[in-house]
Structure 1
Amino acid sequence: MATTNLNIRTDKVIKEQAEQIFNELGLNMTTAVNMFLRTAIREQGIPFELKLDVPNAITAAAIEEGRKLMEDPLAPRYSDMESLREALEV
């Protein structure tokens, strides 16, 4: 396979932020760009969303609370919105 160089211009901060994300994903810039190009060709368009899924502290706490409630057989359960509204008194 013959290779060629691809030169692009981008904002320095954008490049640094992208490199940081790619590094966390175990990729370098060249590999990430090649993944994008190959997938764009295969999908015939902008192909995918590749991102770190890091919820903020409030969301992470809410997820953890929900998981604990789902494991607790004594936690209240509601089968319809009306029952939930009555329990919440709204």
Structure 2
Amino acid sequence: MATTMVRVRMDTGLKEQVDAALASMGLNMSTAVNAMARQILHQGKLPFELYVGNSDLLEAMREAEDIRKHPENHPSYASAHEMMEDILS
């Protein structure tokens, strides 16, 4: 069987995480991509669902990502009581 090379651009961190997840299953990226391609042919569609979240969900996801990247710009609390005092003040 003749093969061809497929190149894909991917975030470095994402690739490292996917490589680790696949390795834990005894797979590599090439095997996973080939399996996905075969499923696309078999099912006639992507083997997973793609969707766009509602605007509230997307905003919450953007906010969570900002908090993750820049925790210094967001308050943190030692207790729930301290947080509630700040919220209610």
Q: Secondary structure of 1:14's partner? A: helix
Distance in 2, Cα, partners of 1:7 & 1:16 = 16
Instruction: Give 2:13's aligned residue.
Output: 13
Provide the alpha-carbon RMSD of the alignment.
1.5
Amino acid at match of 2:21: I
Q: What's the CA shift for 1:11?
A: 0.3
> For 1:1-90, what aligned pairs fall within 5 Å after superposition?
1-48=1-48
Higher helix share: 2
Q: What's the CA shift for 1:48?
A: 4.8
Instruction: Percent identity, please.
Output: 43
Unaligned stretches of 5+ in structure 2?
Answer: 50-89
Deviations 1:27-77 (A, max 9, x none): 01100110011111111111159xxxxxxxxxxxxxxxxxxxxxxxxxxxx
Amino acid at match of 1:7: R
Q: Secondary structure of 1:4's partner? A: coil
Q: Could you say which structure has the greater relative contact order, defined with CA pairs below 8 angstroms and 6 or more residues apart? A: 1
Distance in 1, Cα, partners of 2:14 & 2:20 = 10
The number of equivalent residue pairs is 49
Unaligned stretches of 5+ in structure 1?
Answer: 50-90
